[in-house]
Amino acid sequence: MGLCRLRRGIAGLVALTAVAALSGCATAPTDPDELADYNEINDPLEPTNRAIFEVNLYLDRLILRPVAWTYRELVPEPPRQLVTNFLNNLRSPYTFGHDLLQGEFDRAGVTIARFLINTTIGVAGMADVAGEIFGLEYHAEDAGQTLAVWGIGDGPYLMLPVLGPSNPRDAVGTGIDWLIEPVNWVLRENGAGELVWVRTGFDAVDKRHQVLDTLDSIEKSSLDFYAQIRSISRQRRLDEIRNKDPGGGFAPQPLSREPKVEGRQAAAEPK
């Protein structure tokens, strides 16, 4: 009963977020063909989203991209991989919890095995012994993915300040992640809340440096960088929810609003 109430409460929060977001949406076109395209894109806040995207792009070019580029140029690949492994390992307890909430018990077993092996033999997770020797591949889960598996629709496309592409469901999930992620919670409870921001910064730089060349290439080749990022981010998110390898994931892929999926995947489809 408690889990059912939690699901209903979160569903209500997502709905409220969607209502607040849509309160400033553009008027839908009346032409049937234009309306079909409008519904297909599912971006009623596009003018606002584009404005936020431009601000995010400016901040990225001003701060994050130069830091990530410098990090990649100055730090050799082996130490960078140690940082990536360590950050991935820190997230394992949270991923384990969401594996269980999604009913993915085999994946939960992989997650906990990876955490135990890498934390011990892998020296606090800096070496991915579980993946390289035992073939236990890394995966991440979050609150947005769990809400999708529980049947909560994504809602309209949102471009969040600083955080980037999202939707009402995943925006709520991001807040949940921030509040209850175990490592962050322990740090706050022990008076080390500033380390949460340090971890967040390292995680942002680590992720950004991995896609420096890819995003640069997409921006140069795109007639509409915003629309391309919207399509890519949606497809990548669907792949994550379906537990499907996104294939390194910033490569452009065709996006269907109604992909053919089975089982738990159907709950993840955009509404």
pLDDT digits 0-9 by tens, 223-235: 999 999 999 999 9
pLDDT band at 41 (very low <50, low <70, confident <90, very high): confident
How many other CB atoms are there within 10 angstroms of residue 81's CB atom? 14
DSSP letters for 92-148: HHHHHHHHHHTT-HHHHHHHHHHHHHHHHTTTTTTS-HHHHTT--------HHHHHH
Q: 217: domain range?
A: 2-24+43-91+140-268
Note whether 112 and 118 are within 8 A (CB): no
pLDDT band at 37 (very low <50, low <70, confident <90, very high): low
In a domain, 261, yes or no: yes
102 burial (CB, 10 Å; 0-12 / 13-18 / 19+) is buried
In a domain, 32, yes or no: no
Report how far apart the first and last C-alpha atoms of the chain are (Å, whole number). Answer: 26
pLDDT band at 245 (very low <50, low <70, confident <90, very high): low
Q: Which two tokens stand for residue 198?
A: 């340090």
3-state SS assignment for residue 187: helix
In a domain, 171, yes or no: yes
pLDDT digits 0-9 by tens, 177-218: 988 899 998 999 899 989 999 999 999 999 999 999 999 999
pLDDT digits 0-9 by tens, 99-150: 999 999 999 999 999 999 999 999 999 999 999 999 999 999 999 999 999 9
| pLDDT higher than threshold 80 for residue 248 | no
In a domain, 122, yes or no: no
In a domain, 155, yes or no: yes
pLDDT at residue 12, as a whole number: 46
Q: Which two tokens stand for residue 235?
A: 């497809």
In a domain, 64, yes or no: yes
Residue that wins the pLDDT comparison between 151 and 253: 151
Maximum pairwise Cα distance, the chain: 63
When divided into structural domains, the chain yields a total of 1
Q: CA 64 to CA 61: how far, in whole Å?
A: 7
Q: CA 229 to CA 52: how far, in whole Å?
A: 13
Quote the DSSP letter at residue 26. Answer: P
pLDDT at residue 258, as a whole number: 34
Single-letter amino acid, residue 193: G
Q: Which two tokens stand for residue 253?
A: 């892929």
In a domain, 148, yes or no: yes
Q: What residues have CB less than 8 Å from 218, skipping those under 6 apart?
A: 225, 228, 229, 232, 250, 252
Closest alpha carbon to 199 in 87, 70, 96: 87
| pLDDT higher than threshold 60 for residue 76 | yes
In a domain, 102, yes or no: no
For the chain, the average pLDDT equals: 83
Q: What residues have CB less than 8 Å from 130, skipping those under 6 apart?
A: 113, 114, 117, 118, 122, 136
Backbone angles phi, psi at 12, to 5 degrees: -65, -40
Q: Which two tokens stand for residue 100?
A: 């269980």
pLDDT band at 27 (very low <50, low <70, confident <90, very high): low
